[in-house]
């Protein structure tokens, strides 16, 4: 089996590199640089009509959606990173996977786009901030007595959620003590450090 990961800087691709590095699964990294307008390069449309990244090629089959990639990799190569489907924890696990790219990301993207307008719409920014505060206060409280989002064990939910938390820290100035501790703990993992290194290399065009 051959895996190719099309990696776009400042994207959700870090979810996938972190996971692949963590489990030691071989893959080919194909870097793509954002244009000055922050759009993905047009060349990505030659791989998938949406022209977005990350994209994961699995023996030539192209799949999109970073959380779907996380789920596929875990199901096929790292089942130890997911609860058993008949366990009480499995429903929570699925919830956190979906939360990471829906509830957690929507207000962040809304704020990011609105803030880039020549005259930022203040009502939109205020709404986004209120939603961010509500959503991430919830995450913060969930992490109060846990090392990882599901408890003491790293799972696929962490690989999905961590990117959302990093993005939140970029666009919102609120203080979330338990989220900060969680991210600091992740930063001690060699696989996380490698994923951060890859991001910097792609940003610098190396």
Contact 182, 164 (CB under 8 A): no
For the chain, list the domains and their CATH numbers. 3-80+191-203 (3.40.30.10), 83-189 (1.20.1050.10)
Torsion sign, CA atoms 178, 179, 182, 184: negative
User: 15-54: per-residue pLDDT in tens?
Assistant: 999 999 999 999 999 999 998 888 898 989 999 999 999 9
- For 163-205, the DSSP string reads HHHHHHHHH-----HHHHHHHHHHTTSHHHHHHHHHHHHHHTT
Predicted confidence at residue 206, as pLDDT, reads 67
Angle of CA points 110, 66, 126, to nearest 5°: 10
70-75: long-range contacts, CB 8 A cutoff, minimum separation 24: 70/15, 70/16, 70/19, 70/97, 70/156, 70/159, 70/160, 71/97, 71/156, 73/16, 73/19, 73/20, 73/23, 73/25, 74/19, 74/156
Predicted confidence at residue 15, as pLDDT, reads 97
Contact 75, 82 (CB under 8 A): yes
Contact 128, 122 (CB under 8 A): no
**What's the CA gap between 10 and 13, in Å, rounded?**
8
Give the pLDDT band (50/70/90) at residue 166. very high
Across 163-182, average pLDDT: 93
User: 129-164: per-residue pLDDT in tens?
Assistant: 999 999 999 999 999 999 999 999 999 999 999 999
**What's the CA gap between 195 and 54, in Å, rounded?**
14
Give the pLDDT band (50/70/90) at residue 204. confident
With CA atoms as reference, report the closest residue to 178 among 138, 124, 122, 150: 138
Give the pLDDT band (50/70/90) at residue 179. very high
Give this prediction's pTM.
Answer: 0.94
């Amino acid at each position: 089996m051959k895996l190719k990961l099309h990696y776009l800087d400042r994207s959700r691709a870090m979810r996938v590199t972190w996971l692949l590095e963590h489990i030691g699964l071989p893959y080919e990294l194909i870097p793509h640089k954002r244009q000055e307008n922050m759009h993905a390069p047009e060349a990505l449309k030659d791989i998938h009509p949406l022209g977005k990244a990350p994209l994961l090629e699995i023996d030539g089959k192209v799949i999109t959606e970073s959380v779907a990639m996380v789920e596929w990799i875990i199901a096929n190569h790292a089942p130890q990173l997911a609860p058993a489907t008949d366990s009480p924890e499995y429903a929570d696990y699925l919830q956190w996977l979906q939360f990471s790219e829906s509830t957690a990301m929507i207000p962040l993207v809304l704020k990011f786009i609105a803030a880039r307008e020549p005259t930022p719409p203040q009502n939109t920014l205020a709404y986004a901030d209120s939603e961010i505060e509500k959503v991430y206060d919830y995450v913060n409280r969930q992490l109060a007595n846990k090392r990882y989002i599901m408890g003491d064990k790293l799972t696929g939910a962490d690989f999905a959620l961590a990117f959302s938390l990093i993005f939140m820290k970029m666009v919102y100035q609120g203080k979330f003590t338990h989220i900060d501790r969680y991210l600091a703990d992740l930063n001690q993992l060699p696989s996380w450090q490698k994923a951060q290194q890859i991001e910097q290399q792609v940003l610098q065009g190396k």
